[in-house]
Amino acid sequence: MNLRTRSDDLEVLLAVAEFGGFSAAANALDMQVARVSRSVSKVEEQLGAAIFTRTTRQVRLTDEGYAFVESVKQGLEHIQLAENAIIQVGELPKGKLRVDAASPFLLHQVVPLINGFKKAFPDIELELTSSEEFVDLIEKRTDIAIRIGKLEDSSLKARALGKSPLCIVASPQYLSQHKPITKPNDLNNHQTIGFSTIKQLNKWPLKGLPTYLPSIAASSGETIRQLALSGNGIACLSSFMIKDDINQGRLVKLLQPYVKSSELDRELVNAVYYPSSTIAKRINAFLDYIKPRLKLV
């Protein structure tokens, strides 16, 4: 059998089709744009057909290119399965894995698990970053992003990690110095602490309560937690970051009879990533390890 095209060039071509451009594919594959362009041109020359139409603004598949890409995907998947079948059973995944999450989730949930994960998978090189807003995985060269709230981007694969209930809390110090809070309307007479960037995070799980305009705003949930611990007001935070504070009496739950137990978007925790055969093993190893060990409730 004499193939006209090389599998490494085809991998590059698939990346261009998947990520919608030469620069995006180059970032995802960690190679120069010129090399991506050469690989695609080589495939087109060897086939004698145009796979992409190129303009100054975008790169699109031709009809022939679309059919070719779909067939190549299936063929490479079969090759991947064949290779995996003969790899020695028990071989551990290795290589770099970049994980991004909001700083509270990273600090309170991921960091405590890293020591055990590294012992289980010593050849995975972890790179952890914290972003308070949703990141562009390609732009930030991120393999996995852990997101709190409703997912919007359908081009990403998603894996549900669980739910973390919301709690309305304040410190004993704050409560001892201010009027009692027995019903939701009492909040109008108190300082509230909320988010400055993602406004929907200021929607508290109380029936009939509008989105709050906080007295004090911060971009990070961890900053809001520290403000609440220091007696600056009342906050609404996820259980995954304040469970220990509540159990140890540093924060007190408020208005529990009024808190809605419905499926709130803000309670959802998901991991999102682009499908990629090259790092799928690392992604699965990480998510399989952390999911049963997370303390979200």
Between 46-60, 108-122, 129-143, 161-175, the lowest mean confidence (pLDDT) is in: 129-143
What CATH code would you report for 7-86?
Answer: 1.10.10.10
- What is the distance between the alpha carbons of residues 25 and 29, in angstroms, rounded to a whole number? 6
CA of residue 257 relative to chain centroid, distance: 32
Mean pLDDT for the stretch of residues 15-33: 84
Residue 156 has pLDDT above 90, yes or no: no
Which residue did the predictor score with more confidence, 18 or 186? 186
Where in the chain are the domains?
A: 7-86, 95-153+267-293, 166-262
Between 110-114, 252-256, 278-282, the lowest mean confidence (pLDDT) is in: 278-282
- Give burial (CB, 10 Å; 0-12/13-18/19+) of 280: middle
pLDDT at 78: 73
Domains 95-153+267-293 and 166-262 in one fold = yes
pLDDT at 179: 94
pLDDT at 21: 86
DSSP 144: E
Q: What one-letter code names the amino acid at 154?
A: S
pLDDT at 117: 95
Q: What one-letter code names the amino acid at 15?
A: A
Q: What one-letter code names the amino acid at 64?
A: E
- What is the distance between the alpha carbons of residues 68 and 66, in angstroms, rounded to a whole number? 5
Domain 166-262: CATH superfamily, name plus number? Periplasmic binding protein-like II (3.40.190.10)
Contact between residue 138 and residue 16 where contact means Cβ atoms under 8 Å apart: no
Residue 154 has pLDDT above 80, yes or no: no
For 5-10, which contacts have Cβ atoms below 8 Å and span 24 or more sequence positions?
5/42, 5/43, 5/46, 5/47, 7/76, 7/79, 8/39, 9/39, 9/40, 9/42, 9/43, 10/43, 10/72, 10/76
pLDDT at 1: 43
Give 77-109 pLDDT, tens digit per residue: 777 666 655 554 457 888 999 999 999 999 999
Mean pLDDT for the stretch of residues 233-254: 96
pLDDT at 111: 97
Contact between residue 99 and residue 108 where contact means Cβ atoms under 8 Å apart: no
At 218 the three-state DSSP class reads: strand
**Please, which residues have CB within 8 angstroms of residue 101's CB and are 6 or more apart in sequence?**
109, 110, 128, 130, 131, 145, 146, 147
The token pair that represents 149 in the structure block: 């709230």
Res. 262 pLDDT band, cuts 50 70 90: low
Mean pLDDT for the stretch of residues 137-158: 81
Residue 237 has pLDDT above 90, yes or no: yes
pLDDT at 153: 59
Mean pLDDT for the stretch of residues 268-278: 84
Domain 95-153+267-293: CATH superfamily, name plus number? Periplasmic binding protein-like II (3.40.190.10)
- What is the distance between the alpha carbons of residues 128 and 45, in angstroms, rounded to a whole number? 41
**Please, which residues have CB within 8 angstroms of residue 174's CB and are 6 or more apart in sequence?**
228, 231, 232, 233, 234
